[in-house]
Amino acid sequence: MTTIPDTKHRATCPPWCTADHDEQEHSDDRWHLSTPLWLPVVELATISPSNGPMRSEEFGIELTIGIEQRVDENEPYISVVSDDRERGFRLSLDSTRRLTVALSAVLHDVWEPR
């Protein structure tokens, strides 16, 4: 396990890390974190009222996208988390790459159907 001293700028941090490790309470649960990107998106949610028919409704939400890596791990993950922090993913770099390719293929089918 890598030991990180309690200073704000660390030689052991990856170049993208902007975390203030002094603010991370548990020394055995520290994460390198990038500056997050906030992406407003429109989500189609299914509403199931108890006294009416199920319907779909658009909601504006904000996704937080960033790089995360436990200080004792070698590989970063890409996090995509909803603004309520109740939903999200931490994907490996390879999974993120494959998801990006798949999303591009799906969008291509929508915008440029065969």
SS3 54: coil
Locate the DSSP E strands across the chain.
Answer: 31-33, 37-47, 55-70, 77-82, 88-92
**Residues 28-67: x/- map of binding to Zn ion (CB under 5 A)?**
----x-----------------------------------
Q: What's phi and psi for 13, nearest 5 deg?
A: -75, 140
Query: Which residues, 6+ apart, have CB-to-CB distance to 25 below 8 Å?
Result: none
Q: Is 19 in the site for Zn ion (CB under 5 A)?
A: yes
Strands 55-70 and 31-33, by their bridges, are antiparallel
Among 16, 17, 93, 112, binds Zn ion (CB under 5 A): 17
Q: Is 16 in the site for Zn ion (CB under 5 A)?
A: no
Judged by beta carbon, residue 25 or residue 86, the one nearer Zn ion is 25
Judged by beta carbon, residue 19 or residue 63, the one nearer Zn ion is 19
Judged by beta carbon, residue 17 or residue 78, the one nearer Zn ion is 17
Note the residues at the interface with Zn ion (CB under 5 A).
Answer: 13, 17, 19, 32
